[in-house]
Structure 1
Amino acid sequence: MKFGIIGTGTVGTAIAVRLVEAGYQCLGVETRSARSYARFRQYLNRDRMPLESWVPEADLIFITTQDGMIGSAAKNLADRKLYKDGQIWIHCSGSQKAQILKEDPALPVKTLSMHPIQTFADVGEALKLLPGSHFGLEGEAVEEGIQIVWDLGGIPHRLDPEGKPLYHAGSVMASNYIVALADMAVQLFNLAGIPKEAALESLIPLMQGTLRNLEKVGLPQALTGPIARGDSEVVRSHLECIPLELQQAYRALGRSTLELAQAKMKLNGKEYPRQDLQILNYLLDGGKEKNNHGNCRENIRSKRNYC
C-alpha cells in the first residue's frame, strides 16, 4: 500500500520506518518543523513535497501532528480536495476520536484512530518498542487498521469510540501517573535521609519487580504490602509520618488498594479480620487514632525523621 505522513514527530517517524520495512511505499512527507524533518531524514530518506503532489495517490494518509492540529490538518486536505475515494485518513492520538478527521460525513474517505499503547522517549526507542506494542483502534477503517497493526508487529484492540476518554484515562494512569508516584516516593525517601538521585535508583528495581509480578501473576495476585496483609498498624504509622501534602494521594490510592486486597483475599479463600478492615477503612477515609507516633511529623519537620 502507498502512504504518506503529515507531521514527523516521534510516533509518525517510527511508524513510517516500520511500514516501509513491511513493504509499504512512502510517497511523501510534510511537516512544518525543519528540525523534525531533519530527524525524519536520518531514518527515512524521503523528500518533503507539496501535498498535492502525493496525497491524491496515497492509500493511507497518516496525520501524526500534535493533537490540537489533527482536525485542522484534515480540514486542510478536505478544503483543497486532496483525497481520493476510499482513502484512509489515520491519526495516532489516544484522546481524539477518529471522527475528528472528517468534518463532512459525505467526504469519500474512511477514518481510523490507531493509538499505540506505549510511551516513547525518542525515535530510536519507538522503533524498538513498536513491534509487540498494543494498539487501540476505532473508526470506520478498523478492519484495515487491524492489518496495519499486524504489519507493524503490534497487537490490535477494537475500541468503542464513546469510551475513548476512559481508554485514554487508563493509559494516562498506567503511564504518566507512575512518574508522579515515583516523584512522591522519592520525596518520602528523601525525608528519610536518602538523597533524591539515590532514592530513584533504589525505587526503580522495586517498581520493575512489581511490573514483573503483574506480568507473571496478574491482578489481584500481584498485590503485596501492608494493605494486602491487612496490617492496619503499619498504615497508621505511615499516615502519622507522611507530610500533609502527600496524604490525600496516599489515602486515595490506599482505598483502591484495599478493594483490590479484599478481592485477593477472597480469591485465596481468606478474608480480613473484621477489626483490621474497619480500622483500615477509618484511616484511609481520613480518620485519626491515638498512637505512639504522634511526634513523627514534627520530627520530619526538624529533619530527624524518626518514626
Structure 2
Amino acid sequence: MKHYILDTFNVINKINLSKSHKKDAQTSVSVLIELIKNYQSKYPSYRFTLVCDGRIDEPINLVGKIQLVNSGNQSADTIIKQIIDKEPVRTNLVVVSSDLEVYAYAKAQMCSVLTAENFLKLIEHTPQQKNKSRETIKEKPYAPSKREIEEYKNYSELKMSKLTYGVVGLGKVGYAICRKLIQSGQLKWIVTSKQAKEIDFPGNVQIYSAIEQTKEPVSVVAIATSDGVFEKIVNDICEISTERKICEIAFHFSGATSREVLRPLGEFGIKTLSLHPMQTFGEYRENIFDGIFWGCDCTADDFKIARRIISDIGGVAHLLDEKILRNKPLYHAIGVSVSNFLQGVVEFARLQCENLSLSPSDVLLPILRTSFENAFSAIEQGKQVPITGPVARADTERIKIHLENLKNHSQYADEYRQLTLFLASILHKQGKISQDAYNKMLEILKEIQ
C-alpha cells in the first residue's frame, strides 16, 4: 500500500492557480485535496499525508486516508524527514517534492520520490476506468530529467560533505554562532579584535586579528560584524582571493542590509547570501537558535545552500520575497519592535518597582508571563494582540493621575506619556477607541508636560 508524503506548498506552487488562490493557503490546500481525492478514487488503498509549513486549519474536504500535518515552528522538510525516519519499512513511501534537500534525503532513505511536477501529471492524468478492475490500473512512471538528476547529485554531494566555517566578528551574534559550530567541530578560525586569552572556546580554533592572517581555506565565511564594516571585509576577502582561495560561500547576518554589499565577491566565484536570525542575543543559551525564523536574502538556486548552513546552526530557513527585500529595513524593524522595545518597556516597569522599593521578581514575573502568553496565543491564532488597561478603556482620568504622580515622583513621566500615545494611536487606528476618546487622551498628554 503506497503512502504519499507531500511537501504541500511545494506542490501547490506548481498548480495552475490564480495569484489570489495561491496567497490563500486554505483555498489552495483544498484545491490540492480535490485533485488527490479524484486520483484516490481509482486507488482507494493509497494514503496521502500533506505536510504544510506553519499552521492552517483543517480543510472541510479532508476525508478518508488523506491526512494534513502542520509543521508549526519547524519546517515542512523537517517533519517529512521525521515521518520517513519513523517508518520501519520505507519501500512503500513516495515522497513528493521538487525541493532538492527533501528529494535527496528521501532517495538516501530508500524511498520512492516524485517531483511536484510529475506528481501533478500523475494525478491529473489518471486513466479512466473502462471495464477494468482497480487492481489492473497502472501508474505511468515518471523520472526526473537529466538536469534534475545532476542537481540532485550535486546537492547530495553538498549534503555528504561537512561544511567548515570561519567567523569574522565576535560580538553577541558571532559568539553564539561560534559556540554552535564548535560543538560540531566545524569552526576552523575566528577573526576578532579580542585577545586570544579573552576567548574561552575549546579545541583547535585559530584566532586571528585580521582576515589576511588566515591560512586555512574554509567552506563558508560568516560575517558577524556591524554593517558599517562589511565593505572593508569584502575588500579584504577580494584582495586575498586574487592570490588564494579563502572560501566557497560568504554571508552576513544583517537584517537591514542586503546581500548586494557582498556582490564583489562573486567575481572570485564566491556565492553570497544574507542570512538573518530573527532572535535577540542579549544572553547566550544553548537552545538560542532552536526553531527561530531565518530570513534568507539569496537566489532561489542558492536557497539550498542557505538551508544547509542553517541546518548546521539551528532554526528554520525562509526565502524572503522581493517585496520584503525592497523594504528590508522595515523587516528588520519587526525584530527591533519585539525584542528591543519590549525589553525597554519591561525595564521601565522594573525601574518603577525599585522606585517604590518593591521586588521586581515578585511583582513583574507573574504579570509578565501572563501578558506574554496572551500575546503568544493571539499571534499563534492569527488574531490581534490584546491591549488592556486605562488606554484601552479610554480612561483619561486614570491616565491623568498616573502622569501627575510620575511627574512628581519619577523621572520617567515622559516615557509613560510616549507609551500611552503609542498605544492610543494603535487602538484608534484599529477602531477600538473613538475619535472623541482619542482626542481627549491627546489633550491630557499635552496638558501634563
- Give TM-score scaled by structure 1 length: 0.72
Q: Deviations over 1:78-108 (max 9, x none)?
A: 1222664982111122333222223466342
SS at match of 2:201: helix
Q: Does structure 1 residue 61 correspond to structure 2 residue 221? A: yes
The answer to whether the Cα contact below 8 Å between 2:258 and 2:325 also exists between their aligned partners in 1 is yes
Question: 1:41-80 residue pairs with structure 2 within 5 A?
Answer: 41-42=201-202, 44-48=203-207, 51-55=213-217, 58-80=218-240
Does residue 33 in structure 1 map to residue 194 in structure 2? yes
Q: Distance in 1 between matches of 2:179 and 2:416?
A: 46
d(CA) in 2 for partners of 1:280, 1:155? 43
Q: Which amino acid aligns with 1:282?
A: N
1:286 maps to a residue whose letter is E
Q: What's the CA shift string for 1:208-238, capped at 9, x where partnerless?
A: 3211111123342533323434545544544
How much has 1:187 moved relative to structure 2? 5.1
CA positional deviation for 1:165: 0.8
- Select which of 134, 141, 144 maps to 2:305: 144
Contact persistence 2:290–2:315 (CA under 8 A): yes
Q: Flag the 1:225–1:18 CA change in 2: closer, same or farther, 3 A.
A: same
Separation (CA, whole Å) in 2 of partners of 1:257 and 1:234: 19
Question: Shift of the alpha carbon at 1:254?
Answer: 2.3
Contact 2:293 2:318 in 1 (8 A): yes
Larger radius of gyration: 2
- The superposition leaves residues 53-96 of structure 1 with CA deviations (integer Å, 9 ceiling, x where unpaired) of 223xx221112233332321221011222664982111122333
CA separation in 2, counterparts of 1:85 and 1:187? Answer: 49
Does residue 6 of the first structure (1) align with residue 168 of the second (2)? Answer: yes
Give the 3 Å change call, closer, same or farther, for CA 157–201 of structure 1 in structure 2. farther
Supply the AA of the counterpart residue of 1:111: T
Give, as a single letter, the amino acid of the residue that structure 2 aligns with 1:161.
L
- Contact 1:182–1:200 (CA<8 Å) still a contact in 2? no
C-alpha separation in 2, matches of 1:117 and 1:289: 37
TM-superposed CA distance for 1:136, in Å, is: 2.0
Q: Which runs of 5+ in 2 are unaligned?
A: 1-162, 408-412
* Secondary structure at 1:93 match in 2: coil
Which residue is equivalent to 1:280? 437
Q: Which residue, 128, 131, 148 being the options, matches 2:287?
A: 128
1:252 aligns with 421
User: In structure 2, the residue corresponding to 1:41 is in which secondary structure?
Assistant: coil
Cα separation, 1, equivalents of 2:219 and 2:193:
22
Ranked by relative contact order (alpha carbons within 8 Å, sequence separation 6 or more), the top structure is: 1
* TM-score (norm: length of structure 2): 0.51
Q: What's the CA shift for 1:52? A: 4.7
Alignment of 1:1-307 (within 5 A): 1-21=163-183, 25-34=186-195, 38-42=198-202, 44-48=203-207, 51-55=213-217, 58-81=218-241, 84=245, 87-103=248-264, 106-122=267-283, 125-140=284-299, 141-159=302-320, 160-186=324-350, 188=352, 194-195=356-357, 198-199=359-360, 202-218=363-379, 219-239=383-403, 241-243=405-407, 245-246=414-415, 248-259=417-428, 262=431, 277-287=434-444
- 1:245 to 1:9, Cα distance in 2 relative to 1, 3 A: closer
SS of the aligned residue for 1:111 comes to strand
| Structure 1 position 183, deviation (Å) | 3.8
Structure 1 SS opposite 2:330: helix
* Cα distance in 2 for residues equivalent to 1:110 and 1:285: 53
What is the alpha-carbon distance in structure 1 between the residues aligned to residue 308 and residue 269 of structure 2?
21
Q: 1:288 to 1:74 in 2, by over 3 A?
A: closer
The more displaced of 234-243 and 162-171 is 234-243
| CA RMSD after TM alignment | 3.4
In structure 2, C-alpha distance between the alignment counterparts of 1:289 and 1:91, rounded to whole Å:
44
Which structure shows the bigger proportion of residues in helix conformation?
1
% of aligned pairs identical? 24
Q: Give the counterpart letter for 2:437 in structure 1.
A: L
| Partners of 2:204 and 2:246 in 1: CA distance | 28
The alignment covers a number of residue pairs equal to: 270
2:334 alignment partner, SS class: helix
Aligned to 1:300: none
Q: Distance in 2 between matches of 1:248 and 1:289?
A: 9
Contact 1:86 1:108 in 2 (8 A): no
> Contact 1:92–1:113 at 8 Å: present in 2 too?
yes
Structure 1 residues 180, 71: closer, same or farther in 2, change over 3 A? same
CA displacement at 1:110 relative to structure 2? 1.8
* Contact kept? 2:240, 2:246, Cα under 8 Å: no
